[in-house]
Amino acid sequence: MKRIFLFLSIAAMAITACQQKPKTVPVDIEAEKAAISALFDKFTSALNVQDVKTLTALLTDDALGCGTDPSEFWNKKQLSDVWTQQFADSSLTINWLIDKREIRVAADGKSAIIVEQYVLPMIISSKITIRNIYLTIKANGNWMIDFISWNIVLKNEDIPKLNKAME
């Protein structure tokens, strides 16, 4: 019995040790950054022309969006509804100009974090920066937005002023 157990153990180790390791395909990070940048150029363009259909097509089916209010957690359908509602006011024209964009691609080339910053004087304030944080994933060779978080970003020296104003 001990011999059978020993023989099976050695056979299992040998089979495991002899398996070929999967080949790792090198990822061209700069090419992936360019593709992701093109995705976000398209996203920003769709925002500017208020094209909800294109915006939602760039999202994964189980995308999550988090707004600036703590209660704002939206799935893809809810994001579409929010954009539709925002764009229903035809007098509101927004020109989304991204001041800064940072793209960080994962080493395996399957996901990336994107950070964009801008100011929306006609909606929020000309003095408060908005920072969007996105998670993109590569699905079937295409980059898709899986997560969006809109954030109001204050300068550290302005925090005491805000706290005082909120008293």
pLDDT tens for the chain, 167 residues: list them: 666 766 667 766 666 666 676 677 788 999 999 999 999 999 999 998 999 999 999 999 999 999 999 999 999 999 999 999 988 987 777 777 788 999 999 999 999 999 999 887 767 777 888 999 999 999 889 999 999 999 988 888 988 888 888 88
Contact call for residues 47 and 56 (beta carbons, < 8 A): no
Phi and psi angles of residue 32, each rounded to the nearest 5 degrees, phi first: -65, -40
Task: Provide CB contacts within 8 A for 61, sequence distance 6+.
Answer: 76
Domain membership of residue 18 (yes or no) is no
Q: What is the CATH number of the domain that holds 117?
A: 3.10.450.50
* Structural domain contains residue 20: no
Asked if the structure places residue 137 within a domain, the reply is: yes
Site of tokens 């898709």: 144
Number of domains observed in the structure of the chain: 1
Instruction: Report the C-alpha gap between 57 and 137 in whole angstroms.
Output: 14
Angstrom distance (rounded) from CA 108 to CA 111: 8
Range of the domain at 42: 27-165
Q: What is the DSSP letter of 22?
A: P
Residue 11 covered by a domain: no
Which SS3 state, helix, strand or coil, does residue 2 take? helix
Residue 151 falls inside a structural domain: yes
Residue-level length of the chain? 167
Output DSSP code: residue 99: S
Residue 9 placed within a domain: no
Q: Indicate if the alpha-carbon torsion angle 108, 43, 148, 113 is positive or negative.
A: positive
